Amino acid sequence: MSHLILVRHGQSVWNLENRFTGWVDVELSKNGREEASKAGKLIKNLKIDFGMFYTSYLKRANETLNIILKEINVENNQVVKAWELNERHYGNLTGLNKDEMKKKLSEEKVHQLRRSWDIPPEKLDKDSPYHPLNNIIYKDIPKNLIPDTESLKDTYDRVIPYYKSYIMDNIKNNVLISAHGNSIRALCKFLFNLDNKDISKLEIPTGNPLILKFENGKIISANYLDKERSKNLIIF
């Protein structure tokens, strides 16, 4: 049996402020660090020997992974950072308060922009300080690959090719991924074969490890480790 553990980063400071974050590089909140620490303790109890660890370019996912690694007493020389695992880019919604945008655009419209499969927000102006083109952490990514906005489908179209090329074959040696709500949703869509309607229902809680067990390359179970904060996985 082999294992894949998916962890959405702990609560960030912009999660706390209820803001659209996307590719903006914000830090964990105090609660988020505590969530990551609890995640690490839960993972430690499993006594799994991990072959590889993956995370995005964003510090909230990096810090979550670093806290987990400290809890499980593992050096971080097995960590791979990939921009393809970044959160979905929220376009011109980036930095805005979600509740305020519901009042401005309507709750239905904001839900559509957040949860639809292939409807992205309007593009973020390239001059915005929130645009990834203006952040040095993305200097090594070809500019034509850096988005101005993304739908979940766009996120899926970068996450899944990366997963197939670099992660999938390593699951036999046990893998842990520290990423984001929408990059994990995209991965779950692929792994659970969810249709475009069902994926809109999938919620990924912060800092709660989702453990997938595989036999002969097939998922045989999927469960959240923190039962009190688990969400409906739709198929399991």
Domain 2-155+170-229 matching CATH 3.40.50.1240: the answer reads yes
With 60 as the cut, is the pLDDT of residue 236 above it?
no
88-139 tens-digit pLDDT: 999 999 999 999 999 999 999 998 888 899 999 999 999 999 999 999 999 9
Q: Are strands 210-215 and 2-8 parallel, antiparallel or unpaired?
A: antiparallel
Q: How far apart are CA 59 and CA 65, in angstroms?
A: 10
Q: In the annotation, is 9 catalytic?
A: yes
> CA torsion angle for 57, 141, 203, 175 (degrees, to 10)?
-60
Residue 100 bears catalytic tag: no
- What residue ranges do the domains of the chain occupy? 2-155+170-229
Cα dist from 91 to 34, 106, 150, 231, whole Å? 30, 18, 7, 27
Tokens 């553990």 sit on residue: 5
- Closest by CA to 6, choosing from 232, 236, 206, 170, is 206
- The per-residue pLDDT for range 161-191, each reduced to its tens digit, is 999 999 999 999 999 999 999 999 999 999 9
Q: Which of 63, 87, 131, 180 is catalytic?
A: 87
* pLDDT at res. 235: 58
R_g (Cα) of the chain, nearest Å: 17
Closest to 225 in 3D by CA, of 88, 69, 35, 55: 35
Residue 228 has pLDDT above 90, yes or no: no
pLDDT at residue 234, rounded to an integer: 59
The whole model's pTM is what?
A: 0.95
The two tokens of residue 208 are 């709660």
